[in-house]
Structure 1
């Protein structure tokens, strides 16, 4: 943003598997006061879209592109490296423009330490190189990447809850920054991904309440609620530290989730992690949206989101469809960064919306590639979904955000138009696949 005396810091918080219906400002029984307050005091992004799985959302955030551009493995949870060497990312662009950069939490764009975040623009990194981990053992699923907890690419052993360790590391890093150098802190928490294990303090908060007549579902939801509130409190600690350091006014805070919630999780999944786990028959909620994580319905790809910048952005709600790839071009524009390869971006600059100089984006288009098996395309109010069998579902999201009425047979011309859009986007997929991906 031109005219600023000092470039602002950026704190980008990405929750893991937090659903649309998991925050209290959306009516949840789970208490999330910090997230609610950031949203109320900032710009609520009511139609903020991500990808239906973790690796692709992270890919889009850091590159400004659709994940399919980097190959099929970028459209699924991937332990293989996703980005080509020296590929420009949000972190590397900010670093080249004088920012100190760091990542705390879940990387999941290459689980081998050889492909740690430091190779892609981050000065400092800490957390899980692989996917979601057990909060106490910090272990990923059994296999070559189970030991994944690291600092700057070096595998380490630590004691403590992952959410608490990540939060403490963030605060320590922020305190150590040179006050004259702006910073970018990318904070992809491992919470609230399974396995669900919250500290006793947060378990106690919900344990005497009743949420479900089924004892197993009731217990499962209480544990999940505790895990969410623990995450919310951790975010609050970081915001409080920014206040103490007199950094809050000069820090842009973005909060969102990488995909929709997992609504239940059988032990067949958590048994893949070292240790003993049980069925969790009731977890997160995407209500009233249809679907869940790993699906292209709204519940899998539309998440709670907000941006807060004290005294710069006025509290409001934006109902225009946005996409996680928009953040890179938006920050480049907003911060007047030096960069000249914008032609690759699939995301767009939304800064005019954030500052209310433009009220909406006409006919916004967004494309999803899930495992090169299922696809979706949204243009304006219309959304087309193609399943694995190439069945076509068409929804008018303005009239039917819950996706209850498939209108494909009523509007064959719209179906065909959006189908052609998908075919056009597919031609651009796989354009930036690592040359060694089949050899790794």
Structure 2
């Protein structure tokens, strides 16, 4: 950890608010005298409440409530206030009553953005340079899938200032191998300073049957008709706010509301999809042009900005077949309906803040964690696992499932052509260093400090700047230590002056790196290093853009401005050393295959017992491209049936079960099911399944009863990176069934007795 402490000598965090500075100037008093008066006034101020415990209109509280609202994989142009035809009236209301930033940047994938947001630091320097699934071990301290204790979260800091802190929805800030019902918990939300947590721990989740966690416990999905995850987390957020305002009205709160939307799987009730019937019949070329025109009318992009050409691999709409047009249109209708549904939930939350008298004293910050994703490739995707394993989904396969779009029977992601529309006017997508990957909406609502309502700000802002700005406006100093751990200084820059000054100075420099892709921004210029996986970094191809004049990166100036490029390359090297960007790796999906030596998952033997809570897939025994066995001693009478072991759901996974006096093993790759069936044993028996690879992603599965082989199957394709997005159950199959053979039997709990389940891996 010594390399983390080298930044302790950086310049201290600016502790004085610009808002206070402006008031001091207007009042004619000295800055020092003004602040002394303000501190004295604050110390005498208490929150006034009415008989219902609600804040009276017009009364101030000592410190503001803080709310972060984060979308997942939503592009720069998706909101109505940023040029979209999608109905987002509640987020548009925030924009109309706050500030929109059109030059706000994040990292190109989710976990680093969330880490930077919650800490006010650069993600490499705090252990989160890529998605939390990829823990590269001690050799790569910038890729540990966690936030180091030296970078306290906003929840930890605000706790010392009398705040209660709540987080709901997606977390994705702990190594996957730590996400077990027995911990370790130090990187879970409560371990990072939050008082309450309700949501999911991993990167993405089904909207109808999420793998829910409340505080430090896995829980069942509420038995509620028409359940939806986005609605559930807002219901819970409203409950937290109600309890807070009712019982502790004198205390401020921080609430982080992180939706799973718009990440795959895109799932939403049909009524929201129907809202967009016919809206996208013109196709992605026309819709993109319409958004581009509206963005100029709104002032979101400069009048002289150029719309980038279609991305490589995206066909012009008029070259598609009628089947493609019909299918791809429905993909976008589903995506748009999903966003409108999410906006509706955000509106419910805002209205609830208003109803309990907290809205006027709440600062709300809205953003998306990165640009829209091209994971759906050319045809779109309806199978989450196949998309992540880079497995092709044919158009025929997609069309077969078209009636399931939006439902719990499909895990939808739109084609890349629509992803480019989301990222209008930029080129390429999430995971890249182009503006499409890192430039997203930012809306700040805070009526006590923002008077220029509905205005657009052009300043360059980075996600790491948000929390330092919040600290400044709340008059909070970063403590020297948290839980006895020396804190590294904030690295983001306070942009509160933009709240009151349209021409306030902006951020000058920001580096970027993700899985070997690099970029550096400085004073209106941006250099990008395009890296080819497996090649030496010195062979990267550099591009240079003058963003101040070319915001859509259409004019590569590398041949004309070689001196400027070399200047930016040196600056990237400087920033990389300063913020622990090195060493780099160019991992992509293969990051799922890395198991650090200190991981609990890096064992050869696991023993699980009946009644164990759901174990998330990222913490289960790692079977990819390995010889392994699953042994299950059971006691069974004739007629006893049910699941012995199950990992996954209908889109992928494996299951071992007894049904109709047959013992069955199934491995579901996504488009094909590999199956072994034999007569089931009676009495005390030992069931054993063995898999032996014959080549990369291939092998033979064998099924044994009491040591006697009862069947085998040749599996000609296993998963490359990840078996499923649903975890492991012992003695039952919760959430969605792996096999259609027992899809109508609920969890299909085994009616005999299971002694234990033993995994042995070679």
TM-score (structure 2 length as normaliser) = 0.53
RMSD: 2.4
Structure 1 spans left out of the alignment, 5+ residues: 139-147
1:109-146: CA deviations, max 9, x gaps? Answer: 114152311111111111011111111121xxxxxxxx
- Aligned to 2:578, the other structure's residue is in SS state coil
Counterpart residue number, 1:365:
509
Which consecutive residues of structure 2, in runs of 5 or more, have no partner in the other structure? 1-16, 21-37, 46-61, 136-144, 284-321, 389-407, 481-486, 532-538, 584-594, 600-762
Greater relative contact order (CA < 8 Å, ≥ 6 in sequence): 1
Q: Within the alignment, does 1:352 sit opposite 2:416 as a pair?
A: no
Shift of 1:105: 0.8
Deviates more, 1:270-279 or 1:241-250: 270-279
Aligned to 1:144: none
Aligned mates of 2:582, 2:164 — CA distance in 1: 27
> 1:427 corresponds to which residue?
577
In 2 relative to 1, CA 162–333 (structure 1 residues): closer, same or farther, beyond 3 Å?
same
Partners of 1:377 and 1:11 lie apart in 2 by 30
Q: 1:360 to 1:381 in 2, by over 3 A?
A: same
2:364 counterpart of 1:309: no
Taking a change above 3 Å as real, the CA distance of residues 209 and 176 of structure 1, as seen in their structure-2 partners, is same
1:89 to 136, 153, 157: 153
2:164 is aligned to 100
Determine if contact 2:72/2:261 at 8 Å carries over to the other structure.
yes
Q: Distance in 1 between matches of 2:507 and 2:239?
A: 44
Residue 405 of structure 1 deviates from its aligned partner by 0.8
**In the comparison of the two structures, how many residue pairs are matched?**
426
Aligned match for 1:296, one of 427, 433, 443:
433
- Whether contact under 8 Å (1:53, 1:293) holds in the other structure is yes
Match of 2:693 in 1: none
- Provide Cα deviations, 1:341-365, integer angstroms capped at 9, x if missing partner: 5863221111112222x72325611
Deviations 1:173-217 (A, max 9, x none): 000001110000011111111011112231222235443370011
TM-superposition CA deviations, 1:375-431 (whole Å, max 9, x none): 111111100111214111110111111101110111111111111111112213448
State how 1:154-169 maps to structure 2 within 5 Å. Answer: 154-159=217-222, 160-169=227-236
1:390 alignment counterpart: 540
Which residue does 1:142 correspond to in 2?
none
How far does residue 79 in structure 1 lie from its aligned partner after superposition? 5.8
Say if 2:266 and 2:412, in contact at 8 Å, map to a contact too: no
Q: Matches of residues 100-249 of structure 1 in structure 2 within 5 Å?
A: 100-110=164-174, 111=176, 112=179, 113=183, 114=185, 115-138=187-210, 148-159=211-222, 160-177=227-244, 178-211=248-281, 212=283, 214-249=325-360
Q: Residue 50 of structure 1 aligns with which residue? A: 106
Supply the distance in 1 between the matched residues of 2:202 and 2:341 (Cα, whole angstroms): 22
Which SS does the other structure have where 1:10 is aligned? strand
The structure whose Rg is larger is 2
- The residue that corresponds to 2:414 in the other structure is 280
How has the CA–CA distance of structure 1 residues 231 and 404 changed in structure 2, closer, same or farther, with 3 Å as cutoff? same
Which residue pairs with 1:145 in the alignment? none
Report the Cα distance in structure 2 between the residues aligned to 1:170 and 1:29, rounded to whole angstroms: 28
TM-score, normalised via structure 1 length: 0.90
Alpha carbons 1:69, 1:432 under 8 Å: kept: no
Distance 1:20 1:397 in 2: 16
C-alpha change, 1:375 and 1:40, in structure 2 (3 Å) is same
Give the corresponding residue for 2:598. 439
Question: Contact between 1:392 and 1:408, CA under 8 Å: does it hold in 2?
Answer: yes
Q: Does 1:258 find its partner at 2:369? A: yes
More strand by share: 2
Q: 2: CA distance between counterparts of 1:56 and 1:180? A: 34
Q: Tell me the SS of whatever aligns to 2:365.
A: strand
Once residues 86 and 411 of structure 1 are traced to their aligned partners in structure 2, the CA distance between those partners, rounded to angstroms, is 40
Distance 1:431 1:292, change over 3 A: closer
